Amino acid sequence: MKKVATWSEEDVSDWLSKEGMPEYIDALRQMDGPSLLKLSEADFQNPPLLLVSSDGGQQMMERLETLRIENHMEAHKNGHANGHVIGLPNGTSKPQRNGTLGRKDFMEMVKISIPTKDASRTSFPVEVEWAFSICEINGMLLVGVWLIQWILLKHRSIVGRRFFFIVGTLYMYRCITMYITTLPVPGMHFKCSPKLLGNWELQMRRVMKLIAGGGLSITGSHTMCGDYLYSGHTVMLTLTYLFIKEYSPKRFWIYHWICWTFSAVGIFCILLAHDHYTVDVVVAYFITTRLFWWYHTMANQQSLKETSQSNPFSRVWWYRLFQYFEENVNGTVPRNYQLPFSWRGFQWSRSVKYSRLDNQ
């Protein structure tokens, strides 16, 4: 990495674009690397920086803090050349007047973490960062194809209930696993935003940005670390393919193979880019496929919809919800398609008929 102290105006513009903040390029186009490091919150209270963003420059300051830490590590390497900055434990820092952290403060506040040994890192030691973009593009394509197929289904309300229930359950499980087990970052290319303990406003801004960007890295909405066990990308790549295959005719085997290829390539690219550990992908695949198959086995067998001692499926925690969602469904849902609207509603009749009442 080129030292920030030697950055030119063009390097600063390139960094802003890479960090997903191109709106600051015009305001900072005459600023070099050293001047960039000296920016403070007070600078964002006055024009022109005040006019750029409505958050008071908070997101920009977060990235500047990370840049200062990386610059400090580059200038004061002490045997941790392969370390990685996770972030500040309390989400704050105390920069000196020259814009860098003191050595004592730095060692107390910065957490160094090295990725855990993993099979994918052993097999593919070189990180391929663009591979994760391929994964997310494949995921968006599969989600888009599935939404179109779902809209064209005749029994879309039944299938929709199943899809959103399974997605919600899988992501609830994911919230639990990534809360109880926080793994080190799996790659050296991550740039993690610092924690914002106690700052509810900025936390909500992060949540809204994450939702607006779909939690995707290519949209710049995912800048936090720790959500590894298990992989949400693997969940969507696997689940969309399972629903596409389940609710389309078996004779569309070419269509199924194309979707399977997109799914498999996307999952492989996750490991190639070192954006998840292998265990994250394996656990995500296992939980997704088990929940999908269990639910559809129960939904297709009328005897499994009844609570009894001989039905072990009735002991799962979501069984009451399952009975509510499937109470009007008998047997397997047919794979029938129809347009979601009628063409007759868009056609104008050429002749207008009137009813006439003749008074005698």
Is the preceding omega at residue 48 within 30 degrees of 0, hence cis? Answer: yes
Q: Are 120 and 279 in contact (CB under 8 A)?
A: no
Q: What is the DSSP secondary-structure string of 3-49?
A: -GGG--HHHHHHHHHHTT-GGGTTTTTT--HHHHHT--GGGGGSTTG
For the question of residue 280 being annotated catalytic, the response is yes
Is the preceding omega at residue 95 within 30 degrees of 0, hence cis? Answer: no
Q: Are 86 and 225 in contact (CB under 8 A)?
A: yes
Q: Which of 72, 222, 274, 276 is catalytic?
A: 276
Q: Which of 118, 227, 275, 280 is catalytic?
A: 280
Rounded to 5°, the CA angle 299-300-302 comes to 85
Q: Which amino acid is at 48?
A: P
Q: Are 267 and 281 in contact (CB under 8 A)?
A: yes
Q: Which of 84, 222, 233, 274 is catalytic?
A: 233
User: How far apart are the C-alpha atoms of 211 and 206, rounded to whole Å?
Assistant: 9
Q: Are 88 and 195 in contact (CB under 8 A)?
A: yes
User: How far apart are the C-alpha atoms of 82 and 155, rounded to whole Å?
Assistant: 54
Block residue for tokens 């820092």:
93
Q: Are 188 and 115 in contact (CB under 8 A)?
A: yes
For the question of residue 155 being annotated catalytic, the response is no
Q: Are 76 and 103 in contact (CB under 8 A)?
A: yes
Is the preceding omega at residue 230 within 30 degrees of 0, hence cis? Answer: yes
Active site residues: 233, 276, 280
